[in-house]
Structures are given as structure tokens and as C-alpha cells.
Amino acid sequence: MNSDAEVQRQRALIQQKLHEVAEETGYAKQTVEWVYWVVVARSSAPHPKEGDRVGVSAETVCDQLIRQANDYSPGMLRAALEYNRLFRSENVGEIVTSLIEHDLLRREADDYFTDFDEIFDVENLGPYLARRGIKQRFMAPGAQRRFGLILCAIGIGLTLARSLDFGSIPNHWIGPVVWLSGSLLVFLSRSKPGSMTPRAD
């Protein structure tokens, strides 16, 4: 029982400090919390060592933020970043700096406040995405799968109609092509983005 009370106390303390960071920096609390949990989750999860670094690099933090925005706001990556006022990587750096000052994150010896300078800018996202190997999404995986299944059904229907000489379908390849397109969408939708679970301990 005492341990549960302590966990609740720690969570309340974290939330209070996140509110303080939001008020101090002028960013929405949900944005501050997003940045915080990305850093915490990345620090806690097993991941390849980044050279001689002790902690998580600014490049990795920005990478994870943009990947999450891309995965969960398909077709609206730039809008999602702008909505959270993350117009450039320096904005992320401001939040991380304040989180460190409020003892929510720990600054390692190899961390510098200038690490977030000129990593990305919403005005020039294309080159950044290409450099990091991030393919911009334009449809959520669930919707993509449903659309693919619909195309498969249409393709099968067109093929059967052509075979049974039902209706006027000019070309025999239309059905198979539509089915193949649907199958490809279903296959691609099976590649789901990895999720990060916030830790409260």
C-alpha cells in the first residue's frame, strides 16, 4: 500500500513539474510531456550505443519526435509539429533545457545546450527526412489496410465479372491490377510503427 502511495506521489510531482516547465517556456503542457516521455522512454529502452555518449543525443530525441508525429499524424507531419510549436530543433532544445533545470531529466557530461542547433526545420523537412530514412506517411496503417481490402474485393469482383462475361469490362487486366494494388496496401500496412510506453517510476 505504501509503495502505491509513493508511486502516486511521484507521478503527481512529475505532473506538477511538467506544468511548471510549460508555464516557464510557454509551450503547451502536452508538448512538454511529449518531449519528456520521448527522452525517458528512449533512455530506458534498449538501444544501440551512440558512440561514446552516456545519454541520448539531441539528434535521437528529434528523430523520435518526428517519427512519432509522422506515424500518428499521417499526412499532417508539418501541421503536427507546428501545432506543438516545434518549428525547429532549437524549440525542442528549449524544452529539454527546462526539463533538466526542473530535475526531470539529467544532463550528462557530454550534453551541451547547443546540441539541438540546426538539426531540423519545418521549412526544410524533406532533406532531414531523407537523411534519417523516414518515409512520410499519408495514411494511417488501419485505414490503409481497410482501403487495401476494399481494393482486393473490387479487383476480385471485376475479375469474376470479366470471366463470367457479366457487364462490359473492356480490359482483362483491370481486375488483377486493382487486386494487386489492394494486396500491396494490405502488406505495407502490416509494418506497424514501434510505440513507446511512458514510465512512471
Residues 26-54 pLDDT 10s: 999 999 999 999 988 766 544 445 444 45
| pLDDT bracket for residue 159 (50, 70, 90) | confident
**Which residue reads 522512454 in cell numbers?**
41
Per-residue pLDDT averaged across 71-94, rounded?
90
Q: How confident is the model at residue 194 (pLDDT cuts 50, 70, 90)?
A: very low
Q: Tell me, letter by letter, the H, E, C secondary structure of the chain.
A: CHHHHHHHHHHHHHHHHHHHHHHHHCCCHHHHHHHHHHHHHHHHCCCCCCCCCCCCCHHHHHHHHHHHHHHHCCCCHHHHHHHCCCCEHHHHHHHHHHHHHCCCCCCCCCCCHHHHCCCCEHHHHHHHHHHHCCCCCCCCHHHHHHHHHHHHHHHHHHHHHHHCCCCCCCCCCHHHHHHHHHHHHHHHHCCCCCCCCCCCC
Can you give the residue ranges of every domain in the chain?
Answer: 2-132, 141-189
Average pLDDT over residues 166-192: 68
Asked if 23 contacts 102 with a C-beta cutoff of 8 angstroms, the reply is no
Q: The C-alpha cell of 142 is what?
A: 488501419
Mean pLDDT rounded to a whole number for the chain? 79
pLDDT number for residue 93: 95
- Indicate if the pLDDT at residue 176 is higher than 70: yes
Of the pLDDT bands very low, low, confident and very high (cuts 50, 70, 90), residue 141 is low
